[in-house]
Structure 1
Amino acid sequence: MTRRVLVAMTQSEESERAVEHAVSTFPDAEITVLHVINPNTYYGAEGEMSYRHVVETGEERAEELFEIATEIAERHGASIATETAFGNARHEILAYAKEHDVDQIVMGSRGRSGISRALLGSVAEAVTRRSPVPVTVVK
């Protein structure tokens, strides 16, 4: 029986479908939506931003995502908890699952292949390969 479900959420339609899948498939489970803020993604061609600005921007985005996730859950008569983590997405997702005794991970994937997957990596693939619990990947 699935008691605790972790949904990893990013700014993507696939992530929204992952939330919908989780709340409709596991209606009796405790569902937590996790958004990981990776400060390294905020350093680019325009130069470095202050860490404080990175945190504030990431948290604002997380709140927007959590509003979307909550709306999806409410449409299904479900409630969710939300959490934010800082760091590498694949590491933080796996660490959260382990620390909180998660039974199932649900996440979206854009389904990149070939060179784009090799260059950018795939969080969904890495989590699936290393997870000690089942992982459902929603496209």
Structure 2
Amino acid sequence: MTRQLLVPMDDSETARAALEHALSVFPNDEVTVVHVVDELEAGYGGRPPMTDSGGTDADEPNFFADVREIAAEHDRRVETAVVEGTSAEAILEYVDANDVDGIVMGSEGRSGVSRMLLGSVAEAVTRQASVPVTIVP
């Protein structure tokens, strides 16, 4: 039975590592990559709101180009989605609304003692998700 996996994506190396992990460890599962746009951050000089095609209203390069390249390296296709809201809440809402069976996500890159702690988004998702969560360092 094919499962539906969700990989939250931002510009971090840990998010890319999570996508690589999902594509290689779960070769028979469908993967959806979701990017969360926080309207408050975009309104205060952050990244402009993104279109469904992955570009932004300001014609920035396609955010999902790296995602498609990584998928192609694994001879896979992935679905992409853009949602609005605060990161953890938007991810959890997407999971509940879209019949997702599991989440594969990166932790924040840290060093020293704080490395043992998850990033705030990863921790919130792990604590509140209704499905299994795999954290990739």
Q: Which TM-score band (shorter chain)?
A: 0.7 to 0.9
Mark the runs of 5 or more structure 1 residues left unpaired by the alignment: none
Q: Return closer, same or farther for 1:59/1:136 CA change in 2, 3 Å cut-off.
A: same
Runs ≥4 in structure 1, deviation > 6 angstroms?
none
For normalisation by structure 2, the TM-score amounts to 0.80
State the distance in 2 between where 1:56 and 1:22 align: 24
Structure 2 vs 1, CA of residues 69 and 19 (structure 1 numbering), >3 Å: closer, same or farther?
A: same
- Corresponding residue of 1:12: 12
Q: CA deviation at 1:56?
A: 5.0
Q: Would you say 1:104 and 2:98 are equivalent positions? A: no
Conserved? CA contact 1:35–1:62, under 8 Å: no
After superposition, the C-alpha distances for 1:27-83 in whole angstroms (9 at most, x for unaligned) are 111110000000222354xxx68xxx8325994399633110111111011110000
Where is the helix percentage greater, Structure 1 or Structure 2? 1
Provide the TM-score with structure 1 as the length reference. 0.79
Answer whether contact 1:107 1:136 (CA < 8 A) is retained: yes
- Residue aligning to 2:86: 88
Closer, same or farther in 2 for the Cα pair 1:56/1:126, shift >3 Å?
A: closer
Name structure 2 gaps, 5 residues minimum.
Answer: none
Q: Secondary structure at the match of 1:65?
A: coil
Residue correspondences, number = 128
Q: What percent of counterpart residues are identical?
A: 44
